[in-house]
Amino acid sequence: MVAVVFALLLGVAARHNQASPQFPKTKGGFAEMERQALAEPFQGVTTDGKAVSSLFPIRSTGVSTEPVRKAAEAFLASLDEKQRQATLFPVDDQEWRKWSNIHRYTRQGAGLLNMTDRQRELAFGLLRAGLSAKGLQKTRDVMRLNGTLGELTRRPDEYGEWLYWITVMGKPSATEPWGWQLDGHHAIINYFILRDQVVMTPSFLGSEPIRAESGKFAGTVVMQDEQNKGQALMAALTEAQRRKAILETSKPGNNNLGEAFRDNLVLDYAGIRASELTAPQKLLLLDLIGEYADNLDDGHARVKMEEVRMHLDKTHFAWIGETGPEAVFYYRIQSPVILIEFDHQRPVALEGPRVPGRRHIHTVVRTPNGNDYGKDLLRQHYQRSHRTGS
């Protein structure tokens, strides 16, 4: 099983939560990793291989998803038959799990590059309906910086502002489950809807470079709040608390664990528990989590933060790297209902020493215990439908 293979690859890292595995770098290697991952039934991120039950009940949030449904219908109506066939999948299709940050990854759906101006406008209308203004701005800036990367590398066929694809799983509905996915280099959003409930994970946002110093998008910068708020929380810890939070002071490589093809990641808690923090420190932790949750539209971000607060005392904060003003680091926030990772990464496309730095950042958000892609909600929905015979 892939989970066993991952555990073997992780080795000491899996036991001590210190480093990510080194996966094959060839196209064939990634294809094989994808094949093995998708062959394994979805379970979700867990601490011990067993998902905790009853964390995500079907309920009313009181936050309408009608704007998202209408935006999706308008977008789909703008596509021609060939585009629709490439874009539409069943709500329980494996296509949900076929995402990757690899820029050469083969993607399905309608590509922004080949859309008309009107179609592209409607595609961003879908994102605008599901995300907050801040979340949309952040996503667009990531895409712009991918264009900057194409300028810097002179490889616009590999890196570009419009090299992103949208798929829709299920039929947009007010009562039945459905969702959409944005997939491309450094910007991946999975957005599941069941009535007025939303799950927007796995989500991946990052960039290389972080700032455009020149070119078409000069002045664009991303991921600074995620970086700086993490540092602010670490700076607020006492020396004794830091000893619990810091797993390693050395950071020679990449550390993110929850990226593509790791839907069944087994990752135990590490670092300092929020129950050991003071009230002001807890506020800093919540502010940091909110930086990620607030990419959702305002109403569903509020719902997510309520869920986070319910499990706050079981939330852990872990750190790898140094802690100075210009430190290069990784941090992880993990609870029964959210997993957040921030990682300063090695350069991939840009020149420079092959060590982690502040010019390349990855962030990942997941919903542990079986509810990435809204799968636990979908499972409960199917159970109810079967029970009622509808």
CA 318 – CA 272 distance, rounded (Å): 6
Tens of pLDDT, residue by residue over 204-261, are 999 999 999 999 999 999 999 999 999 999 999 999 999 999 999 999 999 999 999 9
Q: Give pLDDT, residue 390.
A: 44
- Tokens 């810097």 sit at which residue? 152
Task: For 183, list phi and psi in degrees, rounded to 5.
Answer: -135, 130
Tens of pLDDT, residue by residue over 341-365, are 999 999 999 999 999 999 999 999 9
* DSSP reduced 3-state for 184: strand
The contacts of residue 107 (CB under 8 Å, 6+ apart) are 98, 165, 183, 184
pLDDT at 115 over 90: yes
Residues of the domain holding 351: 2-388
| pTM, to two decimals | 0.93
Mean pLDDT of the chain: 93
**Distance, CA of 146 to chain centre:** 17
Domain count, the chain: 1
pLDDT at 25 over 70: no
pLDDT at 5 over 90: no
Q: Give pLDDT, residue 302.
A: 98
Q: Give pLDDT, residue 7.
A: 38
Tens of pLDDT, residue by residue over 116-173, are 999 999 999 999 999 999 999 999 999 999 999 999 999 999 999 999 999 999 999 9
**Distance, CA of 121 to chain centre:** 24
Q: Which residue has the higher pLDDT, 13 or 71?
A: 71
Closest alpha carbon to 1 in 35, 40, 32, 34: 40
Tens of pLDDT, residue by residue over 292-344, are 999 999 999 999 999 999 999 999 999 999 999 999 999 999 999 999 999 99
CA 175 – CA 183 distance, rounded (Å): 26
Q: Give pLDDT, residue 387.
A: 66
Residue 313 DSSP label: G
Helix 117-130 / helix 66-78 crossing angle, nearest 10 deg: 160
